[in-house]
Structures are given as C-alpha cells and as structure tokens.
Amino acid sequence: MKIGCHVSIAQNIWACFERALSVQSEVFQIFTQNQRQWKSVHYSKEDIEKFHELRKQSPYGSEPIVAHASYLINLCADDEQKLIKSREAFVEELKRCDLLGIDYLVIHPGSFGGQSLEWGIEKVAETLNFAMDYFEPQVQILLETTAGQGNNLGFRFEQLQAIREQVKLKEKVAYCVDTCHIFAAGYELENLEGLNRTLTLAKKILTFELIKVWHFNDSMHDRGSRKDRHAAIGEGKIGLAAFEYLVNYKPFDTTPAILEIPGGKEKFAENIELLKNLRK
C-alpha cells in the first residue's frame, strides 16, 4: 500500500504538497475547503495553476490525490431544505475537485433521519444521479464505510453496494473502506482469521477493484460499539497485526492508505514511518 495521511490546506490550497512531504507521506488526502461551512469557496485561476504546477514538481505527480467532502453534506437528508443545500454543496465539491485534478472524492453516504434505511439508500442514489445529471465529473466518487452511529448509512458493505447499483453512471462511483468504521460496525479485524473473513466479504460484496482508498485508523472502542473514535495505529482495539497484514496484502499493493488519527503532525509522521517499516 501507499502510506499517507490527511493534510491541511490552511492559508493556501497548494500548501498541501509541502505539508505532505514534511511527514514523508507517499499519498495524501485534503478537504477542498473548510469542512464545517456551507459557503462554497471558489479558487482563483492563479491558485489552481499553482496547485497543478506544484503537483507536477512534487513526488505526487503520478500518485492519486484524495479529497474528502464536507461533513455537512447529507446525501439522504430527510429535511427538504437540508437536502437541497447538500445537493448544491456536493455539486460544488465535484466542480472544485475537477478544477484541481483530484482523483478521488470520499463522502459519507449520510443519515436518513426519521425515514427507513431503504429510503435512505434510495435517496443517496437519487442525489448522486441528480448531481451527475447536473455536472458529470472526472473525479471518482468514493462512498465511505461508516461506524453506524445513529441513523447513518454505510455500516454494512451491502448498503454501499445497493447505493451504487441504483446509480446510472456506475463507473463514477466506487468505495473507501475505513478500518475504524468497519470495526465499530462489527466487522472482525482484531485477529487474522477474522480479518480474512472480513476481506472475503469485502471482495464478494464490494469487489477489490472498486475499493480505491483505505482509511487507516485504529479504534478507541470495541468491535461493534458503533462509536466512531479513531486511535493511532496499534494503540486501539484493532491492534498492530491487522495493519501489518493489510499493508502487505497484494490486492491492495498500490492502493492509498490514508491516516486520520489524533495527535497532529508528529503522530502522523510517527505512524507513517511505522507502517512503512511493516512492509515486507
């Protein structure tokens, strides 16, 4: 796997390259704007050109760049105004990604509120179809697995598969698997026998070819807790053995593995080095 982390775009969108290099990240993930605000950011021609130029000059020119969509976006909001706002923001995310040449856009499917899970699945697919009817992107959309807190969708592989099945432009949609999330949702990772069972399910339901990105996070809570609390690698309930197995798992030999752990820059650098040293 290609090991990396989420990096900040504070001050300048193009500062991500230097920040990724500073922690020896092989690949990286960014937000394309402040993830906690609705107002859409529009980058200047100069900023976009500088982003592309610095990418060419950096070691990341031939590596995929991953973006994560705003946490505010809910693709299956049961409030009409929130859904409209989410759809508008999502289209803006797609446009920004294409202007920047982003390869993958990771997004949480959303929360279905007072509706049924089946309604939520249909609504997410409807929103994806709506967005891509309005603007057909170059960036590939990755539906992310979730921990299943509250009424959040995506805590079973079958749910993500069901969403994609209802999307018209299926080639534009694939998956991101988060280790903390699937562990919290009940999938086995804490021992190699269980991890292999989970990988077998992922291969059967999602297919390995469509898992374009992994999020590497240990879990502060036990398997099946439905609590999304990330821990540094080897410092949580999943443990180091699972990550050692995954970084050496041939089907994902060149797949990005993105860290989203607490602890800041120093912890990112420490965990990136740790994971690199686990590779055989």
Active-site residue set:
36, 68, 71, 108, 144, 178, 181, 215, 228, 230, 260
Burial (CB count within 10 angstroms: exposed 0-12, middle 13-18, buried 19+), residue 37 = exposed
User: How is residue 166 written in tokens?
Assistant: 């209802």
Residues 5 and 15: their CA atoms lie apart, in Å, by 14
H/E/C letters for each residue in the chain? CEEEEECCCCCCHHHHHHHHHHCCCCEEEECCCCCCCCCCCCCCHHHHHHHHHHHHHCCCCCCCEEEECCCCCCCCCCCHHHHHHHHHHHHHHHHHHHHHCCCEEEECCCECCCCCHHHHHHHHHHHHHHHHHHCCCCCEEEEECCCCCCCECCCCHHHHHHHHHCCCCHHHEEEEEEHHHHHHCCCCCCCHHHHHHHHHHHHHHCCHHHEEEEEECEECCCCCCCCCCEECCCCCCCCHHHHHHHHCCHHHCCCEEEECCCCHHHHHHHHHHHHHHHCC
CA trace torsion 268, 270, 271, 273 (10° rounding): 120
Burial (CB count within 10 angstroms: exposed 0-12, middle 13-18, buried 19+), residue 204 = exposed
